[in-house]
Structure 1
């Protein structure tokens, strides 16, 4: 897994990735963290999430996708259903779901440049040391990059 620091969403807009993946809950909220930023910047991704069944735990490990077109560039946003809900403290990340999401991403977007944050390890509270091997195994052989968030200094 390659690692960059920066803003995953801006990097996608700049053409660095063909596909970006982020973790979502199954409640169709996208109300905090990178999901909220995606909801605001790419309403197409929120619409894809809204088209799925709210609260359906069968979504765990699956994806919804949105095609984004901005300023002559195109890329895909993948909403990966990696947790049931967002409420409460502690770990809400579902490790099997994270693996399932990555497996679905590889099946659908093989050969594409894939960018992702620390899926499941932010607000979901998952253990990044446990998540890394899942991502590495499911995306083996793919061009995928972890983007550790650093806000753009230009404002």
Structure 2
């Protein structure tokens, strides 16, 4: 079994050959405007547009915690919008991150990336604005993706995150 590969760089520019999925965590409120999504939107308009449509039509689709939406942005690149955050602010109910939802989303993502023969690229998902702890996220990635043979690269932009 391999391990998660850690590199410095931009997760929106994976420098490997073959099919690639850029995975990130979204909230369940339809909000898109802070954090990693800004980098995605600078490169491609499609993930934001698809996410907003998915949220707007949620009464008729699977939008909700644990859901995954794959959006093709280049011939061999997809963005995975994973719903793993309840709300957008830390408050009386704690941080927005929902580990169970991220686990479910990663399990669903695994089937898609295996089908495509894709590698997965991501920032330290759910550890910024969502308030998650990498020590809880990393084992989920290992269990759901690495153990199923999917190559995963985690990008630290600039200073290494903790």
TM bucket by the smaller chain? 0.7 to 0.9
CA distance in 1, matches of 2:102, 2:17: 25
Q: Is 1:145 aligned with 2:153?
A: yes
2:10 to 7, 13, 32: 7
CA distance in 1, matches of 2:28, 2:118: 26
TM-score, normalised to structure 1's length?
A: 0.84
Q: Which has the larger displacement, 33-42 or 103-112?
A: 33-42
SS at match of 1:130: helix
5+ long unaligned stretches in structure 1: none
Match of 2:49 in 1: 47
When you count strand as a share of all residues, which structure comes out higher? 1
Q: CA deviation at 1:149?
A: 1.3
CA distance in 2, matches of 1:17, 1:116: 14
Alpha-carbon deviations, 1:26-71, whole Å to 9, x = none? 12221101012212321100111012135969611111121112xx
Match of 2:123 in 1: 117
Kept in 1, the 8 Å contact 2:122–2:154? The answer is: yes
Kept in 2, the 8 Å contact 1:27–1:54? The answer is: no
TM-score, normalised to structure 2's length?
A: 0.80
In angstroms, what is the RMSD of aligned CA positions? 2.4
1:60 to 62, 65, 68: 65
Note closer, same or farther for the CA distance 1:44–1:125 as it changes in structure 2 (3 Å cut): same
Runs of 4+ in 1 over 4 A off after TM superposition: 14-17, 54-58
Kept in 2, the 8 Å contact 1:5–1:148? The answer is: yes
CA distance in 2, matches of 1:94, 1:137: 17
Task: Give aligned pairs, total.
Answer: 147
Kept in 1, the 8 Å contact 2:113–2:150? The answer is: no
